[in-house]
Structure formats: structure tokens, C-alpha cells
Chains A and B, each alone.
Chain A
Amino acid sequence: MSRRLSAISARTALPILAILLTMLVVTESAWSQSRFPPPEFESGYTQPTTTRPHGRAGWADYTDLAVLAGALVLASAATLWLRRRWVIVLISVASLGYFGFYKQGCICPIGAIQNVAMAVFSTDGYVIPLTVAGFFLLPLIAALFFGRSFCAAVCPLGITQDLLALKPLRVPTWLDRALSLLPWVYLGAAVLFAVTGSAMIICRYDPFVAIFRLVPLGKIFEGFARNDPELNPAALSGRLDLLILTASFLLVGVFIARPYCRYFCPYGALLGLMSRFALKRVRITPTECIQCKLCENSCPVNAIRTPTPQAGPKERLAGKGSLAVMLAILPVLIVGGGVLGGMLGTTMARMHATVQLADRVRLENSGAVKGTTDASEAFRATGESAESLYAQAAQIESRFTSLTKPFGVGIGGAHLFGAFVGLVVGLKLVGLSIRRRRNDYEPDDASCISCGRCFATCPMEQARRNGTKVTLNQKSESCPT
């Protein structure tokens, strides 16, 4: 100890003097100051190298894509051909284990919407990894041909809700239709915020990812492969607001089946759209529907549509009248939505970190607010002028409020978002005015999530499973009426 203290070499004195310099009023990071030149060693000491551990191997991501494709194929087969709920449950538990706990729920196709939007629209050169694009496209393609088998048996968020739907209650249809606006609004907002570089709101407000991160299964498996297990769990005491969100969704999910899937999931909106045109639709009965009504209340998400009643000419006219009105107000809603959206542009721009910083710096500089934040202090330390920050923030805001100026009126991302919401509202109103003639009990293509709970209630399905042949106009043992 005394040897070290008494040997005040230049190497010791200089740092002490440097310490007397004390921190300046604002700290700054030195890039490489080289205050003390690297020494030349005489004792044969070899400098260690800094380790640079890589993450997952690149090919592992393509494995994920393959597993996704396989799961989609299996799930579709289970729903459309095998028609057994327990097979679907098995596949879904396996998917939950892989995509949920092993991959920690990231990257999921829902979040991939934002990445794809950034790749297609953004100007800052975002490069999308092929696997992310694949994650976005594969379930959509599957839905286009086989319906929403992704939702039932592949999506970890959906499966979590499905497993927890212990006592599903029926949501009144008017409420169900009204709330189904929300996924489209969420989709529009997510695309807007992603493209403007503000935030990835789907990821930020994902209610179920906290469960998947509870235990680091992915790292454990990879750790075992590399002989270095590390039990590093998610920080439950971190974001309290997200914990409350997760707990709320879990609790609500016990009584209302799949609340996130039905009323929030933006990808679900897209899948529903694709599913409308599916090549092979989900049918409750394997052969024909005998209108026994046994399946009517078996769907946890109320996707089963009843046969429509006959209508006389007078009633049909009344129906057409409403349709005409809804079609007429559709353009009004689009334009109105655009105008209202535009009013929100400045507020929406506040989602972006740079705009928040510019606001804060402006408030501090004008004396309207006391104290500083970490971000404003860090900004002042860079020596950049406030004016250039304001200019950057204004440029980001212009992405929301005025990307182009046709006829002198600024149209920005917020206007487009508003117009999109107007379009969705208008189309939903039109959809509610269209009468679709149905003779059978069948699931609504857009909202059926292919879970297969309805199969077991159908007597024709039971007959198929028993091997009993049923011919119509003939009472059989399995017909309860």
C-alpha cells in the first residue's frame, strides 16, 4: 500500500491533477481522448482481446420461418381436413412454446406490420430483414387460402388468450361490431408512427409479451448449446403500467374470449380481410347443414352467423334505402376523417423523441419550466444550437401535417390516417347495411379464428367421426330434435 502511494509517478500525478479539473457544468463523452498514451510493456504481457459474442446465427431465423410455415400448414390441415379440436390445441401449445416462450414473442407478425410499413414508405433507408418480411407475409398468404388458422394455432398472443378463456360470455352484437373499428384504427396509427420513426406502438403496448419474457427459455436453450446458461429473467418490477395492462388483459380474457384478437389486433384486421376471400372456408358441418341450431352458441368469439330470414319486396327496399344512404356518406366520412386527422397532426407528432426534446428545450429556454431532463441536458452538452433542434422537430412534424401541398393545402400522415379511419367507419356502416343471404349456419369468414370449438357440437360432424352415414329426410340416432 505504501509502496503504491509513495511512488507518485507522472502517471499517478497527472490523473490527480486531471481530477482537480472536476466535471464541467455539463458532461460530455470523449470519443478517444488519448490523454495517456498506450504503454509499451516490457514484461511480455499480452493484451487480451475484447470478446464480441454474436447473437443468434443467421440461419436460425430462417428456421423460425420454416417452423412458421410448417405450423400454418399443420393448423390449416387440422381445421379444414382433420377437424379435431384436440389436434388444434396440441399444435397451439407447441406454437406457444416455440414462438412464445422460446422466441420470447419477438418478432411476431403483428409487430412486423410496422417493419414492413417502414420498408415500404420510410425515406430513411430502413432495411428490412427477409425473415421479418416473411413473418408478415406467410400468415396473410395462408389466410388468403385457408382462413385464419394463424390465429387459432400459431399466434402466441392468441393462444394465451385462448387458453385463458375459461368462462367466455357473449358480447352483444352491436358492441362487438362497434368495437371492431378499433383494430383498424390501431393499424393506421401503428403504420403512421412506424413510418414517421416515432414509436413502435404495437411492440410497446403488447400485453402478453411480458408473460413470454418471464423466463428466458430461448437463452437457456442456446446457453446449454454453448455451455453457459444464464437465468436472466424479465424485469417484472420494471414497467408498472405494462404489468397492469397485462394483468387487465388476462383478467378480462377469462370472461371475454380473445379480447386482444377481436378488438385490438391490427394484424387480425388484415387477416380478416384476407380470410374473406379464402379458397377453402371453415365450415361447421362437414357435409351439409341441417339447421339444428346446436352450434349457434358454441363460438367463443360469436363468429357463427345464422341463416337469414326470407324478405318481401317492401322490406328489401327498406334495406336498400339504408345502403344507399351509407354509400352516400362514405366519401363525406373519408374527407371529414382526413380533416379531423389533420387537426391531430401536431399532437401525434409528440410521439417522436426529437419533437418531445424540442418542446422541452423550448420550454426550458423560455423559462416556462424549471429544471432539466436527462435528454435536454444531454442535448445541451452536444453544443448543437436550439434552432437546429427546432428545425429538425419541425421537419418531423411536417411528416404528420404536410408531406405535400396540393392546391396549397398541406396533407400529411395525420390527414391520411384520419381519411383511412373515415374509410373504415364508412365501410363498416355499409357492411352493416348489406344483407347477405344465408341458408346455413356458417362462420363469418372474417371473424372466425379457426379454433374448431364448434365442430363437436354439429351432429353431422359427430356422425362423420362415428363413421355413421347420414342421409337427409331420414331421422337418425344422432339427431337430437
Chain B
Amino acid sequence: MSDQQQIDKPDAPHATDTWRAIGFAVAAAAALLAVVAITVLVLDRPSIRGKDFLATSELAQMKSQFAQNPKNQPLAKQIRQVDLDLRRQYFSHLTLARYGNWLLLGCLVVFVISVKAALALRPKPPRLGAKQPDFLGELRRAHGRRWAVTAVATLMIAGAITPTAIEAYRRMTTVPPPPPHVADPALVAKYWTQFRGPGSQGRGAYDNVPLTWDAPAGRNILWRSPVSTPGKSSPVIWGKKVFLTGGAKDKREVLCYNADTGGLLWSTPIRDLPDSPASIKEPYEETGYAASTPVADDLHVFALFSNGDLACLDHAGKIIWSKALGQPNNPYSHSSSLVMHRNLLIVLWDQASLEDYMSKIFAFDAQTGRIVWQQRRGVSASWATPAIVRIGQADQLITAANPWLISYDPSNGSELWRAKTLEGGDVASTPAFADGVAYSICAESFLAAVRTDGSGDVTDKLLWQSDDGLTDLTSPLTNGKLLWTIETGGKLTCFDAKTGKVAYGKELEKVFNASPSLCAGKLWLLSMKGEMFVCQTGREFKMLHTNPLGEGAYASPAFQDGRIYLRGSKNLFCIAAGAQSPPTSQPAGQDDDGHEESE
């Protein structure tokens, strides 16, 4: 500031008064202009910064309408006009911002200069200090200042502690969210809720199932219901409901039948999911649209189709949630079935080749469909279903694909162990499990017995491996002592489960698509023509009964209390001892296209 010259009387009119007035006026004008500039800049559509400016709901709606009828030219013109307007707006906003900022800065500078100039025109004299030195007063003031420091320090601490205190209080008083709904495990074991029953092992728990029937004659057939939409998925049961899925080019649906009467309770089509691909890709002919078996619990049934449509329905057929996972890149179309672990729906989503690294496994929350965990998998496309098995107090989710057999902790997706036993193969066989040992098999590698208590890569710690009886489609079956495999061409091989030694091999000269089952101490083999061969489970082969179905069969049977549910190519059968149904007129030995079977 300029050097002081004289002390002026403050109130006398001064030559510089007008200049001062001008100075302050200019300052006020500059300040006002600055405020206006700031307001305009701040209010000028801040939401159009960045990418958002084209994402208005109006334009999005028009674009989605256009996507549905792309030939609508007037709509296209409208879209272009709106788009152009939005872009113009954006660029004009940019120009406003550029020049507005310069203006703002200019106003600030003018304001400061004019005020300082105006103030300098009439410099104020220095104010004399009036304080008298006073020691006791000093002590008192020092005392007061110390308390002020203490007060500010306390305020700071209080301010800092408050959020923590509030958080602690909230945690003490909030009720924890209710645990997720989990179906009673006893009921899950009682009913047949997934592909090949509990743990995907194909083992039935009931001894009282009928051992013989004749479907064309109607003997021991409680009911037979036609299934309108075909599919290779197996029936699953909860309580008195039997669930099926079926799919064709124009329709995919979930069906529900009454377990006692066979009446169709409801059928719910699954279509028009948001994000579902616009046109459905035709699946591999042998697999079909509905190859994945659904899974049910006490409140829901979940279904998956070849185009990636995943749906959760309640037991009355209403869709609770659905997701379109997208068309998978799968050469033989997706066929892995769904499994559940407590409140999680596990979806194995293996695709493409190893290098593409596109395979994944998801765990969805059963109630909401939210992804709870997911893992990428370094495997190629696969067709086997995961097996969730209980080992001691813990559960393992065992998956098989080329080239790894991988076990996860189903609650969080963390990997437990893996073994490279499936290299080079198209893996469709679900791993078998008994007595802490998992068995993996594929036609291009070998049959391997893997201990489940390892961690990391356990490939060089296999219990045994064998090149006999390798299957490409069906899954192996074991009861802990013996292991059976049935090849598509009809060769049944029985191994000692502990050592891997072949107990016997028998050519059955039939074609098999369905995996073998164990129930009531018997071995059940279902041929593609629908004949169920009931054999003994010993170290020697002995066929006990042959039961005709009258139509082809690909799906696995479901064993319940005194009943067997079987899905043929055309009908759903319920088999119970002592029942009698009207005979069917269709001769045996024909598949659903009406062509003669050739072996």
C-alpha cells in the first residue's frame, strides 16, 4: 500500500470521494456479474457432462422402440432429430463453459483491483493500541485461552468420536437380517430334487420301489401323462409335484404334474426375458432346447434352457425372477443341469475352448437371483452336471470339464482342489462319489479315482486310474464298493471302487443315453428304447428283470417312496406296484420320430 502521508479527518468531504464511489460501484458490478456467471455455469445442465448427455430416457425409449421395428423410418428421423438437438446442446454448453470461466476470472480480478484501488484512495490512519499492560490480566487471559484450546480440542474429539459411537450404537441395536431361507435337508434327501437325485449320484433311498412293470400293457403303471413339449431333461419331484422342462423352437416351458394322478397342474412358458437374444439359436439336434434338468426346493423350482434363459418359479407356476445368461458358445448346446446348495442355485456355465477362457460357474441367491459368487474356470465347454457332496462336516461342489476336475466350497466358490484327469475330452459324465473318493471319466482320457481331502493340484496323487469302460455320455455309478459304467454302445463295466480292478465287462448290445442308477440294492439300466434292465449289484453280472416302456427314453428315472417316475420321449410315467393303467397302443421299439431304432 502507498506510504502514509497525513492523518486526515475521516468525515470531511474529499476530492477522491467520487473516485471511491466509482471504484466500489465497479467492484459491486463485477461481483454481481461473477455471481451471475457462477449461477449460470453451475445450473447449465451439469447432468450433461460426460457420456450421459445422450442417455436421456426419451431417446432410450425411442431407440428400443426402433430396435423392435427397424423399418420405421419416421421414428428413425425423430431419433436423429433428438440426437442432433442433444449434441448441439452439449457443444453449446462447452462453449458457455469456456467463455464463462474466462468471464468469471475477469470479474474476480476486476473486483479485487477496483476495491483495493478504492480503499487506497483514502488510506486509514493506524489505530493506536489501547491495551494497558497488566500482568494479572495477562494471567487471566492466558487461563481463558487455555480453556479455549481445551474446548476446541474436546469439540474435535467429540466430532471425531461421534460417527464411531453412532455406528457402535447402531450395531448394538439393529436386528441382524434373518438368515436366508434354506430347505430342510431331510426333505431334500427324501424327494428327488435334481438330476440323478441327491448329490447327482443316481442313488435312490427307497427299498420298496417296484422292480417290474410293463408299460405297453399298463401293468404297475399308476399313470401316464403326455408331455406336450419334448425335452431330454429328467423329472424332479418335491412333495406331490413333479416338474419337467420342455423346449421347441417356438416355446420353452416348465411343466408341473400332480405326482399322484399325473394331471397337468400348470405349464409356464419362459420367453421374452429382458436381455434374452432376439432370435434363438437352434441347439444341437441330439441335445435340444431343454436338456438341463431343473432343480426344486420347498419354495421354488429353477429351470435353464439352451439359449441361456434361467427362470425361478414358485410351486404355483409364477415366475419369481429370471435372468438371460445369453446364448452360450457351446458346440453341442448346453446340457449341464442345475444344482442347489442350501439357498444358492449353482449354474455351471462352461463354454468355448480353453484359450477363450469364457467358462464360469455362478451361484445365484435362490430368493432374488442376485449373484452371490462366481468364478471363472480355465476349462472348455462341458456337459456334465456338478455334484454337491457332503464329506464330514463340509460340503464340496465337484465339477468335471476338459481338462480339470475341480472341487469348490459351494458357500463361497473358493477352490479346494483340482486334478487334471479329463484332458482332451468332451466331458459329459457327472463325477461319482462315495466314501471320500470322487471318480471322473471321459472317453478321451481315463477313469480316475481322486481323493477329496487334498488341496491344490492333486493330479499326481490319484488313487487309481483305468482305461477300461470309458464313457462319453453317461455318468458312472458307485456304492463305495463297486463302480459301474455303461457306454453308449451298451458295454457295462464293473470295477472294484477301491482298487480299480475290473470285476466284469458285459456287452448288452443296447444303446444307452441315460446314466445307470442304484436303488433297493439293484442296478438299474435304462436303454434308449425305454427298456429298464434291473440287474443285481454283485461282482458278477446277472440281469433280473426287463421292463418295457413302449417309447424311447433319454432321461434318468426318479426313485420315490414305492414309486418310480420315468420320462419317455412322449409321456411321463409313474410306476407303482399293484397299479394298472389302460394299455398303450403304440408298439415298442420306435423312437419319437417314428423311425425304427437301429443299433
Binding site for B on A (CB under 8 A): 20-26, 85-86, 163-164, 166, 173-175, 177-179, 181-182, 185, 211, 214-215, 231-238, 240, 243, 247, 293-298, 306-312, 315, 318-319, 322, 326, 340, 343-344, 346-347, 364-368, 380, 383, 385-387, 421, 425, 428-429, 432-433, 435, 453, 456-457, 462, 465
The 27 listed contacts between A and B (C-beta, < 8 Å) are: A20-B278, A20-B327, A21-B329, A25-B325, A85-B1, A163-B116, A164-B112, A166-B116, A173-B141, A174-B148, A178-B148, A178-B149, A211-B105, A214-B102, A215-B105, A231-B98, A233-B101, A238-B46, A295-B126, A296-B129, A315-B135, A343-B164, A346-B164, A347-B163, A368-B177, A425-B150, A456-B4
Q: Is the CB of B327 within 8 A of A22?
A: yes
Q: Is the CB of B42 within 8 A of A428?
A: no
Q: Is B71 close to A, CB under 8 A? A: no
Q: Is the CB of B129 within 8 A of A22?
A: no
Residues of A within 8 A of B151 (CB): 178
Closest 7 CB pairs of A and B: A296-B129, A309-B133, A237-B46, A178-B148, A174-B148, A178-B152, A233-B101
Q: Is the CB of B277 within 8 A of A425?
A: no
Residues of A within 8 A of B362 (CB): 25
Q: Is the CB of B161 within 8 A of A343?
A: yes
Q: Is the CB of B376 within 8 A of A383?
A: yes
Stretch touching chain A among B200-208, B366-374, B397-405, B460-468: B366-374
Question: What residue in chain B is nearest A366 (Cβ atoms)?
Answer: B177
Q: How far is the CA of A346 from the CA of B104 in the complex (A)?
A: 42
Of the candidates B42, B275, B277, the one whose C-beta lies within 8 Å of that of A236 is: B42
Q: Is the CB of A235 within 8 A of B275?
A: no
Cβ distance A385 to chain B, nearest Cβ, rounded Å: 5
Known: A344-B161, A344-B164, A456-B3. A309 touches B100 (CB 8 A): no
Q: Is the CB of A175 within 8 A of B148?
A: yes
Q: CB-CB contacts of B10-44 with A at 8 A, as 1s and 0s?
A: 00000000000000000000000000001001111
In the complex, given contacts A310-B135, A319-B139, A347-B167, what are 14 additional A-B residue pairs having Cβ atoms less than 8 angstroms apart?
A21-B327, A86-B1, A173-B141, A181-B149, A215-B105, A294-B128, A322-B139, A344-B160, A367-B368, A368-B177, A380-B371, A386-B412, A429-B150, A433-B146
Q: How far is the CA of A86 from the CA of B120 in the complex (A)?
A: 12
Q: Is B543 close to A, CB under 8 A? A: no
Q: Is the CB of B101 within 8 A of A21?
A: no
Question: What residue in chain B is nearest A326 (Cβ atoms)?
Answer: B146
Q: Is the CB of A177 within 8 A of B98?
A: no
Known: A85-B1, A233-B98, A306-B133. A23 touches B275 (CB 8 A): yes
Q: Is the CB of A383 within 8 A of B149?
A: no
Residues of B within 8 A of A306 (CB): 129, 131, 133
Residues of A within 8 A of B147 (CB): 174
Residues of A within 8 A of B412 (CB): 385-387
Question: What residue in chain A is nearest B165 (Cβ atoms)?
Answer: A343
Q: Is the CB of A174 within 8 A of B145?
A: yes
**Interface residue range, chain B:** 35 or more
Q: Is B323 close to A, CB under 8 A? A: yes
* A-contacting residues, B150-194, CB 8 Å: 150-153, 156-157, 160-161, 163-164, 167, 177, 180
Of the candidates A22, A173, A237, the one whose C-beta lies within 8 Å of that of B275 is: A22
Q: Is the CB of B145 within 8 A of A173?
A: yes
Q: How far is the CA of A294 from the CA of B375 in the complex (A)?
A: 77
Residues of A within 8 A of B129 (CB): 293, 296-297, 306
Q: Is the CB of B38 within 8 A of A236?
A: yes
Residues of A within 8 A of B413 (CB): 385
Q: How far is the CA of A306 from the CA of B371 in the complex (A)?
A: 71
Q: Is B481 close to A, CB under 8 A? A: no
Known: A306-B129, A308-B138. A425 touches B1 (CB 8 A): no
Residues of B within 8 A of A433 (CB): 142, 146
Residues of B within 8 A of A85 (CB): 1
Q: Is B119 close to A, CB under 8 A? A: yes
Question: What residue in chain B is nearest A85 (Cβ atoms)?
Answer: B1
Residues of B within 8 A of A368 (CB): 177
* A-contacting residues, B279-304, CB 8 Å: 279, 281
Q: Is the CB of B101 within 8 A of A214?
A: yes
Residues of A within 8 A of B365 (CB): 367
Residues of A within 8 A of B128 (CB): 293-294, 296-297
Residues of B within 8 A of A387 (CB): 412, 414
Question: What residue in chain B is nearest A333 (Cβ atoms)?
Answer: B153
Residues of B within 8 A of A20 (CB): 277-279, 281, 327
Residues of A within 8 A of B157 (CB): 340
Q: Is the CB of A432 within 8 A of B139?
A: no
Q: Is B320 close to A, CB under 8 A? A: no
Q: How far is the CA of A310 from the CA of B134 in the complex (A)?
A: 8
Cβ distance A99 to chain B, nearest Cβ, rounded Å: 16
Residues of B within 8 A of A312 (CB): 135
Q: Is B456 close to A, CB under 8 A? A: no
Residues of B within 8 A of A318 (CB): 139
Q: Is the CB of B126 within 8 A of A297?
A: yes
Residues of A within 8 A of B143 (CB): 322
Residues of A within 8 A of B368 (CB): 367
Known: A25-B325, A178-B145, A308-B133. A315 touches B161 (CB 8 A): no
Q: Is the CB of A234 within 8 A of B101?
A: yes
Of the candidates A181, A215, A298, A428, the one whose C-beta lies within 8 Å of that of B126 is: A298
Cβ distance A32 to chain B, nearest Cβ, rounded Å: 12
Q: Is B127 close to A, CB under 8 A? A: yes
Q: Is B326 close to A, CB under 8 A? A: yes
Q: How far is the CA of A296 from the CA of B132 in the complex (A)?
A: 12
Known: A26-B371, A236-B100, A456-B1. A429 touches B149 (CB 8 A): yes
Q: Is B319 close to A, CB under 8 A? A: no
Residues of A within 8 A of B156 (CB): 181-182, 185, 421
Q: Is the CB of A236 within 8 A of B97?
A: yes
Question: What residue in chain A is nearest B376 (Cβ atoms)?
Answer: A383
Cβ distance A308 to chain B, nearest Cβ, rounded Å: 7
Residues of B within 8 A of A432 (CB): 142, 145-146, 149
Cβ distance A304 to chain B, nearest Cβ, rounded Å: 9
Q: How far is the CA of A448 from the CA of B157 in the complex (A)?
A: 29
Question: What residue in chain B is nearest A22 (Cβ atoms)?
Answer: B326
Q: Is the CB of A365 within 8 A of B142?
A: no
Q: How far is the CA of A179 from the CA of B152 in the complex (A)?
A: 7
Instruction: Name the residue in A214, A296, A421, A433 with the highest tally of chain B Cβ atoms < 10 Å from its Cβ.
Output: A214
Q: How far is the CA of A421 from the CA of B155 in the complex (A)?
A: 13
Q: How far is the CA of A235 from the CA of B2 in the complex (A)?
A: 39
Q: How far is the CA of A309 from the CA of B131 in the complex (A)?
A: 11
Q: CB-CB contacts of B403-424 with A at 8 A, as 1s and 0s?
A: 0000000001110000000000
